[in-house]
Amino acid sequence: MDERLDLGIREFNEGRYFEAHDILEDFWQGYREPDRVLLQALIHSAVGFYHLDNGNLKGCRSQLVKACAKMGAYLPEYWGLDLAPLHASMRKQIDVIDVHWQTKAKSLELSVRPRIQRSHRIAEGYSSIS
């Protein structure tokens, strides 16, 4: 797999979501295989958390919804990535935002900052992501 996937995920795991999106987008633009949908799901996820960091809850929610929908076909793991925890974290974040809107709470518990981890089951031979 292209090294940009590793680089993008490293940026994601460091919370540098714009940079993560930027690297993954560069990869996505030229990648034409059917599973490019998963790449786009990872971009949606990075952009969603970027918007979250910047207080754009509407943008965050929309992006995470798209990410979850597109990632669904690749669960629980793909490309050696353990996607199920990321998917669950995004669902949780969507719920947190919904509750925030419904209760009109002044503060928002936004503790969800997932990491994309290597799948233990198929990590052999593909261990470059730290």
Partner 1 sequence: MATFITEECINCGACEPECPNTAIYAGGVQWEFQGATHDAISNDFYYIVPEKCTECVGHFEKEQCAAVCPVDCCIPDPNRPETEDVLYARAKQLHPDRAFAELSAATSRFRK
Interacting residue ranges for partner 1, rule: CB under 8 A: 18, 21-22, 24-25, 28-29, 40, 43-44, 47, 50-51, 56, 58-59, 62-63, 66
Shortest Cβ 22–partner 1 spacing (Å): 7
Shortest Cβ 11–partner 1 spacing (Å): 14
Question: Which CB sits closer to partner 1, 60 or 83?
Answer: 60
Question: Which CB sits closer to partner 1, 2 or 25?
Answer: 25
User: Please, are residues 51 and 60 in contact by the beta-carbon 8 Å criterion?
Assistant: yes
What one-character DSSP code corresponds to residue 15? T
CA–CA distance, 10 with 8 (Å, rounded to integer): 5
Q: Are strands 77-78 and 117-118 parallel, antiparallel or unpaired?
A: unpaired
Residues 6+ apart with CB under 8 A from 56: none
Shortest Cβ 16–partner 1 spacing (Å): 13
Question: Which CB sits closer to partner 1, 110 or 123?
Answer: 110
Shortest Cβ 47–partner 1 spacing (Å): 5
CA–CA distance, 19 with 30 (Å, rounded to integer): 18
CA–CA distance, 23 with 82 (Å, rounded to integer): 20
Question: Which CB sits closer to partner 1, 40 or 89?
Answer: 40
